[in-house]
């Protein structure tokens, strides 16, 4: 496993149109992912996880908003400096995404072999018998049984788990250096979910793929992630190796999330024991966004944004409490 970061996100800012102005759905987000590593991105619904993924891929529709700051360095190239033609060369080929519901990414009227083939042809330039072989190999690599027969199936003829594997085969067609998985198992039942996680782990071991794994579920974080970033109101409030975060959470939000998880098999969305709601982006409090819900909030928290504190090796959190409230 190499330790060079394949993906480096620095100070990413994405502004969405809102009323006459704009709101920051992604606010100064930074992280790195090494080859062969999985970084989890956890947070409540609306915290900006999907917007972060789409911003990295430069897929925010201009009617919705745009990336207004930061760098996204993929294998040494800052994607934010590329024109759209250059971006198309990297997107899908070197950095790809699997989504929660493969029905939204698969074409219902095309056979799955043709859809996987389209990606392989585009990214690897294969045609004819070599392309046909690569399609079957691609499906087999995602542990799809009887791939020679399955190539002629339509998406609706497959189970949700198998459709997600087809989505993975398309995402792996490049093959990419970085895979973004935006809650890819949320729609699946527990058994199928574990199978897909095991598959991704195997693929990662074989290929050195770097994975950004978005989830609500700390059980999934424990299963698949090496490090985890906790997101709140568009910001990463804490980032740490998984074992370190579970054993020694430093940010009050992370602490509250983990305290409300009786065991790790629980979904962030359903465990909620933290009072109050996440703030609306067009009505963020001054200072720390978590202050209205934080048991430790003091005046300084409501006045100024918290500093980022190094809490240990590869571990940081942004909070005034950790900074002694500025005293
Ligand atoms: N298509 C969209 N148009 C406008 N605002 C959006 C759109 N999608 C998401 N948002 C807003 O962006 C913010 C972040 O959302 P999102 O990244 O989807 O959150 P998450 O993936 O963490 O649930 C939320 O305030 C959400 O309302
Ligand atoms: S900065 Fe203050 S309000 Fe925000 S999490 Fe830390 S203690 Fe709580
Ligand atoms: Mg989302």
* CA-based radius of gyration for the chain: 20
Give residue 2's pLDDT: 47
Residues 6+ apart with CB under 8 A from 323: 306, 307, 309
- Among 251, 305, 306, name the best residue to mutate to test ligand 2's pocket (greatest count of ligand atoms within 8 A of Cβ): 306
Residues with CB under 6 A from ligand 2: 252, 288, 290-291, 294, 296-297, 301, 306, 319-321
Q: Give the DSSP letter of residue 175.
A: -
Question: Ligand 1, atom 26: nearest CA belongs to which residue?
Answer: 46
DSSP string, 92-158: TTTEEEE-S-HHHHS-TTS-HHHHHHHHHHHHH---HHHHHHHHHHHHHHTT-SSHHHHTT--GGGS
Ligand 2 centroid, distance to 319 Cα (angstroms): 5
What per-residue confidence (pLDDT) applies to 186?
83
- Kindly state the tokens that stand for 38: 């999985």
**DSSP H or E run through 212:** strand 210-215
| Stated pTM of the model | 0.94
The phi, psi pair for 31, rounded to 5°, reads: -165, 165
Cβ < 5 A residues, ion ligand 3: 49-50
Give me the pLDDT at residue 217, please.
86
pLDDT tens column, 58-84: 999 999 999 999 999 999 999 999 999
Q: Which domains does the chain have, with CATH numbers?
A: 5-94+178-278 (3.40.50.300), 102-175 (no CATH)
User: Cβ contacts of residue 326 below 8 Å, gap of 6+?
Assistant: 300, 304, 320
Instruction: Give nearest CA residue, ligand 1 atom 3.
Output: 64
Q: Identify the segments of the chain with pLDDT beneath 70.
A: 1-3, 261-273
Closest of 125, 124, 149 to residue 136, by C-alpha: 149
The rounded distance, in Å, linking the Cα atoms of 182 and 47 is 13
Closest CA to 255 of 234, 276, 237: 237
Q: Whose CA is nearest to atom 7 of ligand 1?
A: 64
Cα(272) to centroid(ligand 1), Å: 20
Q: Residues 292-327: pLDDT tens digits? A: 999 999 999 999 999 999 999 899 999 999 999 998
**Does residue 318 contact residue 289 with C-beta atoms inside 8 Å?**
no
Q: How far apart are CA 306 and CA 22, in angstroms?
A: 22
**Cβ atoms of 112 and 157 closer than 8 Å:** no
Short-list 230, 284, 289, CA closest to 256: 230
Question: Distance, CA 318 to ligand 2 centroid (Å)?
Answer: 8
Q: Work out the number of other CB atoms within 10 angstroms of the CB of residue 132.
A: 16
Q: How far is the CA of 286 from the centre of ligand 1 (A)?
A: 21
Within 8 A by CB and 6+ apart from 291, the residues are 285, 297, 301, 302
What separation in Å is there between the alpha carbon of 315 and the centre of ligand 3?
Answer: 24
Q: What is the pLDDT of residue 20?
A: 85
Q: How far is the CA of 182 from the centre of ligand 2 (A)?
A: 28
Q: Residue 164 corresponds to which tokens in the numbers above?
A: 């997600």
**pLDDT on residue 1:** 45
């Amino acid at each position: 496993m190499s330790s060079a970061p394949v993906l480096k996100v620095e100070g990413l800012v994405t502004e969405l149109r809102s009323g006459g102005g704009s709101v920051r759905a992604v606010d100064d987000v930074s992280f790195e992912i090494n080859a062969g590593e999985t970084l989890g991105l956890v947070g409540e619904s609306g915290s900006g996880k999907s917007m972060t993924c789409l911003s990295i891929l430069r897929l925010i529709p201009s009617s919705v908003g745009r990336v207004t700051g930061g760098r996204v360095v993929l294998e040494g190239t800052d994607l934010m400096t590329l024109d759209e033609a250059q971006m198309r060369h990297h997107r899908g080929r070197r950095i790809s995404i699997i989504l929660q519901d493969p029905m939204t990414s698969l074409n219902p009227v095309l056979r799955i072999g043709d859809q996987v083939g389209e990606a392989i042809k585009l990214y690897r330039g294969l045609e004819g018998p070599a392309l046909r072989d690569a399609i079957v190999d691609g499906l087999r690599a995602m542990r799809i049984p009887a791939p020679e027969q399955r190539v002629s199936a339509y998406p609706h003829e497959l189970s949700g788990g198998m459709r997600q594997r087809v989505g993975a085969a398309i995402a792996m067609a490049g093959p990419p250096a970085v895979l973004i998985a935006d809650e890819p198992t949320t729609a699946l039942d527990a058994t199928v979910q574990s199978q897909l996680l095991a598959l991704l782990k195997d693929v990662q071991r074989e290929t050195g793929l770097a994975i950004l794994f978005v989830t609500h579920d700390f059980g999934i974080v424990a299963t698949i992630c090496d490090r985890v970033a906790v997101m709140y109101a568009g910001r990463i409030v804490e980032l740490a190796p998984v074992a370190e975060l579970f054993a020694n959470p430093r940010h009050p939000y992370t602490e509250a999330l983990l305290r409300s998880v009786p065991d790790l098999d629980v979904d962030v969305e359903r465990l909620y024991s933290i009072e109050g709601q996440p703030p609306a982006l067009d009505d963020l409090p001054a200072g720390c966004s978590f202050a209205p819900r934080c048991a430790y909030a003091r005046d300084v928290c409501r006045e100024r944004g918290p500093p980022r504190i190094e809490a240990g090796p590869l571990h940081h959190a942004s909070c005034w409490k950790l900074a002694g409230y500025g005293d």
